[in-house]
Amino acid sequence: MTQLTREDVLKLARLARLDLTDEEVETYRKELSAVLDYVAQLDGVDVAGLEPTSQVTGLKNVMREDKVIDYGMSPHDLLRLAPKSQDGQIKVKRMLG
């Protein structure tokens, strides 16, 4: 049985930029432990001699020519999708240097 610690959950939350209550930390600690156990079943599969697979489509070398494409979207339309903008830039909460 995997037992995630409270610190494990807080670290994951920090990486995901999530602010969790103490109650949520405890909930996810249990749930994520169970999820990991479920996935851990894969550890039992014999993969000796198998190449790691990262693609199942069989596709390769899907490339385009180095030319500008008109996607039919103006910068203005895109910028409007940002929650806030100013002077043509996306405005966000101040980042620390």
Partner 1 sequence: MASKVSPEIRAKYTVTIGIECHVQFKTETKLFAGVANDARDAAPNTLISHICFGLPGALPVLNKEAVHLGIKAAFALGTRPQKYSAFDRKHYFYPDLPLGYQITQFTHPIIRGGSLTIDVDGEQKTIRIHEAHLEADAGKSTHPAGTNYSLVDLNRAGTPLLEIVSEPDMHTAADAKAYAKELYLRMRYADVSDCNLYYGNMRFDVNVSVSKTDVLGTRTETKNLNSFKAVEKAVEYEVNRQIERLEKGEQIIQETRGWDDAKQVTFSQRSKEDAHDYRYFPDPDLPPIELDDALIDAVAGEMPVMPDEWRRRLSGLGLDVSQTDSLLEGELDSAEVSYLLLIEEVIDQKDFAKALANWFVNLEIPLRNDETARINGDLTNQNRLRMYRAVFELVKTNKLSSSNAKVLLTKLLAGPEVADIEDFAKQHNLIQESDEGELAKVVAKVIEENPKAAEDVKAGEMKAIGFLVGQVMKHTQGRANPGVVQQIIKTQLGL
Q: Which residues bind partner 1 (CB under 8 A)?
A: 11, 15-17, 54-55, 57, 59-69, 71, 73, 75, 78-79, 81, 86-95, 97
Taking the least distance from each CB to partner 1, the nearer of 1 and 63 is 63
Taking the least distance from each CB to partner 1, the nearer of 23 and 75 is 75
Q: How far is CA 2 from the centre of its chain?
A: 22
Which residues touch 8 (CB under 8 Å, ≥6 apart)? 29, 32
Q: How far is the CB of 9 from partner 1 (least distance, A)?
A: 13
Residue at token pair 């596709």 = 59
Which residues touch 37 (CB under 8 Å, ≥6 apart)? 1, 2
Q: How far is the CB of 87 from partner 1 (least distance, A)?
A: 7
Q: How far is the CB of 58 from partner 1 (least distance, A)?
A: 8
Taking the least distance from each CB to partner 1, the nearer of 1 and 15 is 15
Rounded-to-10 torsion of CA 85, 87, 93, 95? 140
